[in-house]
Amino acid sequence: MRPFVVLSEPIHEAGLAVLEAAAEVRVIPEPTQATLRQAIADADAVIVRLFPLTAELMAVAPRLRVIGRHGAGLDNVDLAAATKRKIPVVYVPRTHAVSVAEHTLTLILAVARRLPELDDAVRRGKFHLRNQIFGTELNGKTLGVIGLGNIGRLVAEKCRNAFGMRVLGYDPFLAPDLPVPADRVADLDVLLRESDVITLHVPLTPQTRSLLGARKLALLKPTALVINTSRGEVIDEKALAEALHARRIGGAAVDVYATEPPPSDHPLLSAPNTVLTPHAAAHTEEALQRMAVSIADDVLAVLRGERPAHLANPDVYAP
């Protein structure tokens, strides 16, 4: 009998084809707690993207043998609950780093050169605003990278080489002898005070939740730009919006939000000097294909009784 795999959201057709060659697959295009609860009751595997997979949901799936997280972050999967049941959780930690890094550079340029305002001026017949809307160069400026994992190091390298930026890096969890394309600083406050552009590339953990709150944001230069492609909760969004409205910082570009999609009254939606994208940093054809095939391969490996390549909870294989 072929295993039954449930996808909480669609994935790239290349990964879907890998799954369908070996399993019965059900895709839920617009998941809710009720629809996912019903779907996974008989599932051998479930793959989630942004939808939260809680211990409560896992409890209604007695046959569940493997959980796939289509992405690098694991904050929407109850890893402890899965591990307690000896359910391997597989994920894709490295397949989309290039796409996220490139999107980060796109956001930096967009907010530094005020591209949305310039685009809007042309569309509204306000061509003369070219004499009032001025951007800023990146060459010679200081980039502060918070989090020096795969994505953070790529962003640092690209900004240093392409834009001629001085790069500072902060990551207290990184091995001190690991070479990085940045000048490492041990004090986050130093990075915040000295940087012209701050970009965050950290997972959501108890240590990083609200990492940039009102006090930290107050350390920034009045011209500083804040970029977030990691997780919405690592910044106090209300404090960020207040700093933007008060012109205490120069601008912000954000791809991720504490609640997704953000509600209509989200404070950043009305904040000035912002560029907002819908959690799409990894959404390139190439990255989505790699992610989908990788997660499909690992899920099927577990279902065949093999150890997967990318395992988030190796304790499940402990004797």
The sign one gets for the Cα dihedral 178, 144, 74, 21 is: negative
- For residue 61, give the nearest of 41, 76, 44 by alpha carbon: 41
Number of C-alpha atoms within 13 angstroms, CB side, residue 20?
A: 9
Spatial separation of the C-alpha atoms in residues 276 and 286, rounded to whole Å: 22
For residues 142 and 224, is the Cβ–Cβ distance under 8 A? no
Helix (H), strand (E) at residue 141 = none
List the catalytic residue out of 13, 137, 260, 286.
Answer: 260
Residue 238 makes CB contacts below 8 A (sequence gap 6+) with 267
Compute how many other C-beta atoms are within 10 angstroms of the C-beta atom of residue 232: 19
- Distance of alpha carbon 295 from alpha carbon 94, whole angstroms: 11
Which residue carries 């896992």 as its tokens? 58
Q: Catalytic site residue 279?
A: yes
- Characterise 161 by phi-psi region: left (phi > 0), alpha (psi -120 to 50), beta (else): alpha
Say whether 215 is catalytic: no
- Please pick, among 231, 266, 290, 310, the residue that the annotation labels catalytic: 231
Specify whether 260 is catalytic.
yes
- For the annotated catalytic residues, the residue numbers are 231, 260, 279
